[in-house]
Amino acid sequence: MIFLSYALRWYTSLEHSKLKKRNDLADSFMKEYKSNQDMVPTRSQLESMEMKRNETLTGVCPKVEDFGSSGGSASN
């Protein structure tokens, strides 16, 4: 749901006169949201962020935040 509101805001802010073909729209979309694709974690990164048995949520949150703020390159 949140992504839809960001995408709608992005779409309505486009200069539609510059979009001559569907590919122009697709290229613009990929340019805008490519960073999301670059942040997909690997399996080992997800496993390293997994909540341990005696760990609290406040212990897990920094691991996830570190991953997001580093552009998806958190160390294991």
Q: Which residue has the higher pLDDT, 70 or 7?
A: 7
Enter the tokens of residue 23.
Answer: 């590919």
Average pLDDT estimate for 19-41: 83
Q: Is the model's pLDDT at 19 over the cut of 80? A: yes
Which is it for the CA torsion 8, 14, 20, 23, positive or negative?
Answer: negative
Cα–Cα dist 39/31, whole Å: 14
At 68 the pLDDT is: 63
Distance CA 50, CA 60 (A): 7
74 pLDDT above the threshold of 70: no
Q: Look at residue 21 in the predicted model and tell me its pLDDT.
A: 92
Cβ atoms of residues 40 and 72 within 8 Å? yes
What is the C-alpha separation between 66 and 27, in angstroms, rounded? 29
